[in-house]
Amino acid sequence: MATVQRFEDLKIWQKARVFSVLIFELMGTGPFGMDFDHRRQIRRSADLVMDNIAEGFGRASKGEFIQFLGISKGSLTEVKSQLYRALDRQYISTEIFEKVYADADELGKMIAGFITYLSKTEIRGSKYKGSTDKHQLQELALDYQDWTE
C-alpha cells in the first residue's frame, strides 16, 4: 500500500493551507489595513492551523501527532472567534463571515475526524522501541484520506 510520505500529502494540511491563504487575502483588504493587531493575530492563528498539522506529522508518535492536531483545531477555533470580532467591527460583511466560517467548520470537522481515527488505532509510532513499521502513521493518514473521499 502507498503511504503518505510528507505532510504536504495530507488533505487536512492542504485544506488548512488554502484556508490560511484565504484569511491572509481577506485581512489585506478594507478596514483591516488600519487594525494591525487584529490582522496580525488572525493571520497568525490561521497559519498555526497548517503549521501544527505539519509539526504533528513530523513527530514519531501517534500521541504527539494527535496532540498537535488538537492544537491545530484550537487555533482554528481562535480564527472563528476572531471572525466574529471582524464582523462586529464591520470589517467584513455577513456574507463573507458566513462563507469563511463555513470553511473553518469544514476544516475543523476534518481535523476532528482525523483525531478520532488516529485515536482508535493501536499503532504508537516509530519513536517507540520495537516498532517494526516505520511508516505506520503515514499509512494511517493515507487510509483516513481514502475513507473521507
> What domain range is 28 assigned to?
7-148
Whether residue 83 contacts residue 39, with contact meaning beta carbons closer than 8 Å, is answered with: no
* pLDDT of the residue at 121: 80
Supply the pTM of this predicted model: 0.82
* pLDDT of the residue at 31: 82
Render pLDDT for 21-70 as a digit per residue (tens, 0 to 9).
999 999 887 787 788 899 999 999 999 999 999 999 998 788 999 999 99
**55/149 Cα distance (integer angstroms):** 24
Whether residue 114 contacts residue 73, with contact meaning beta carbons closer than 8 Å, is answered with: no
- For residue 4, pLDDT beyond 80: no
CATH number at residue 65: 1.20.1440.60
In a domain, 46, yes or no: yes
- For residue 112, pLDDT beyond 90: yes
Domain count, the chain: 1
The three three-digit cell numbers of residue 35, written as one number? 487594525
